[in-house]
A and B are shown apart, each in its own frame.
Chain A
């Protein structure tokens, strides 16, 4: 099941569908990444930052009350406790460090809700690298506080006014800027999406989550869990926790955003459930599952959780879904919101609305036996950023 090192593909998915200008830089990035990923000095430095700056390892917490309420034994992987409040920093520290090792002077990134942008700003400041973040103009308004957080840490936030003015347009614009500045700039993609080597590299940097879970669950349960459940936008927190278990007898559930219902029109989807409802396509440099109309125009996606609101998904997840190794599922906005409140009330943990989708699926599926007896949920982030949204929904 392990992919061949040199391949740019996961089965028929992945690859490098980018303008010619970028091909050499992807080649260079692939080589540099291959060179450093097992380099002891690089890894020692990365471990240092993950531990002393990011606060790793994050705990695996037995959620007693939630377990009782849902009727299955639940452990929470507490990525919400990582510096910045989400798993995103695992990847940005890795790529920012790589940027330094590659001798590049500038980082650009896209962000939707601002979580990845914030994590870039943190890593950029920690390593003293100039950082600029592209963000859909609509999102800069919706997520004002995250814009301010990034600016506080010295990052320039560039509002993107083209297209739908959301995440996919921010990615488009970051790619355009990269094309013009390839020689000096590293594009720090925030999920397991984009052209090779990003899906592999981001997965590897996020795999620290799953590696920790392997140890922690053995200490607590003396065995692996029956299932692992993670929310899936681009798929980085999911691949991060899944990947170290890929060859084990553990069921892996990728829970997407069902939005307000699994319907689409010619221009938009009411959801962001790409694995569940997307079709094969090519978006942002990779062949993968895509939400698109019959002509191949990309749909505007939708979700209560900004971090899941994306019309594509990582190519490796598309592959793993095709071969049946992961199980794509979805939770609706309303279900996620309910689970959000459950976790707040029962455990004293305010989860991100993204992560609440994973919790909601466990609530829904626990009774069916599908999840087995012991479940690990990846709480990919904390929910402080979402309070305004939740307030709005509760009205």
Chain B
């Protein structure tokens, strides 16, 4: 399923999106398949599947640890695409990875592999708009959305450039910093939501871990909420993982649905 279609469907129901991140191969490829299913059961609307890179500079300790577990267990881009192809889910899948893995595989081959394995979008946290021309062209040709991040520090001139290039959704970084669950939501978040003027859906990530926060974000005007570290924390515990992933997804989705306008 394509990402815009998903957001259109949600919009009809007047509902925000839950976008769930987990790292593929953490702790095994088989585990990931089971966890994806659990997240979908809990109500996730889009799944971001991390393709692990050895030097994840945009990630905090929780996701770094997940990436290390996945790499230690042998996850590679080849295994990743094979695993994704075997997933039987009917929601959009997005690959999140660092630019060197795409660069090394060859931009075209990477995008074609995404398309062939049923991936609808690509997020590259270390690829700013300035360097993204070639990848953006290939994504357009292959009907893949290239999703860009905007941050509280993004200037107006860069914002314009990003908003013209980004498709699928715009990933709003809720705070200065790396990924990781936190208990407070920065006041700058709603300011950022107001600043991003576009018809492309806006999803907010970095630091969201519970239903109350998810509700706040949606009330502040976002179209979706991205949650990663809170799920990866559950995976790290190794304890009753599928059930707890499903429960957290359900809590988050409930918060999103109940968010006061």
Contact = CB atoms under 8 A, between A and B. Distances in A.
B47 interface: no
Interface string B136-169: 0000000000001111111100100010000000
B189 interface: no
B148 A20 contact: yes
Q: Is the interface of A mostly helix, strand, loop or mixed?
A: mixed
Interface residues of A, number: 39
B56 interface: yes
Interface string B56-73: 111111001000100100
Interface stretch (B11-19, B95-103, B114-122): B95-103
Contact of B173 (A21, A281, A284, A294): A21
A283 B100 contact: yes
A172 B178 CA distance: 11
A24 B151 CA distance: 10
A163 interface: yes
Contacts of A94: none
Contact of A21 (B99, B105, B153, B162): B153
Nearest to A299: B54
A23 B71 contact: no
Contacts of B99: 17, 282
Given A17-B128, A168-B55, A176 B178 contact: yes
A17 B127 contact: yes
A8 B162 CA distance: 19
Nearest to B97: A296
A24 B153 contact: yes
B184 interface: no
B1 interface: no
Interface in B111-133: 125-128, 130-131
Contact of B57 (A172, A292, A294, A295): A172
B158 A24 contact: yes
B221 interface: no
Interface of A: 8, 15-21, 23-25, 27, 162-163, 168-169, 172, 175-176, 179-183, 279-285, 287, 290, 292, 294-298
18 contacts: A15-B131, A16-B128, A16-B131, A18-B128, A20-B154, A23-B130, A179-B57, A179-B177, A180-B176, A183-B176, A280-B103, A295-B104, A296-B53, A296-B77, A296-B101, A296-B104, A297-B53, A298-B55
4 pairs of A and B residues whose beta carbons are closest in the complex: A296-B104, A180-B177, A21-B151, A297-B54
Interface of B: 53-61, 64, 68, 71, 76-78, 98-105, 125-128, 130-131, 148-155, 158, 162, 173, 176-178
